[in-house]
Amino acid sequence: MMNDVVKQKFDTYPVKVRAKLEYLRQLILEVAANTDKVGEVEETLKWGEPAYITLPIQYEDKSGKLKKAKAPGTTIRIDWKSKSPDQYALYVNCQTSLINSFNSLFPNTFTFEGSRTVVFRLDDELPEEALRVCIQMALTYHLGK
C-alpha cells in the first residue's frame, strides 16, 4: 500500500506520467522483495520526490545479541518535472559509483545525466531486465563495500 504522503505526490502527476511512475515504483518494490539481504523498504518523500530507502537489518552476533547492521542500499528516488514534460527519472545518491556502474553495464540502454540520474522518455518502453539489475545494485550498494 502506498504511503499517504507519497500518494498525494503521485496524485499531482499527469495521468500518463503517474502510470509510468507507478510502474517504476512497483518494479523497485518487487526487486526489493525478491533480493536477499534487502529487508524492508521505507517509502517516503525526499526533496519532494518519492523515495525508497532500505532499512537497517537486524541480526544476531556470535553471542546471540541482536544487532542492527547498516542499511544495505542507497536511497532511490523517482520523479517527473514539468520543465521536461516528456521524461521522468530515477535518481541515486550522487556520492555513489552507481551511475558509472550502470553506464559500464548498459552503455547503450539508458540515458544518464550527471552522477545521479537515469532518464526515461515517456513514450519509450522501459528496458525492464536491465533496470531490475540497476535497482538491485542500488538496493544492495552498501553490501558490496
Count CA atoms within 13 Å of residue 20 on its CB side: 23
Q: Could you list the pLDDT tens digit for every one of the 145 residues in the chain?
A: 888 999 999 999 999 999 999 999 999 999 999 998 888 899 999 999 999 999 887 766 778 877 777 788 999 999 999 999 999 999 999 999 999 999 999 999 999 999 899 999 999 999 999 999 999 999 999 887 6
List the domains of the chain with CATH numbers. 4-144 (3.90.1150.200)
DSSP characters for 17-68?
Answer: HHHHHHHHHHHHHHHHHTSTTT--EEEEEETTEEEEEEPPPEEE-TTS-EEE
- The separation between CA 6 and the C-alpha centre of its own chain, rounded to angstroms, equals 14
CB atoms near residue 109 (< 10 Å): 15
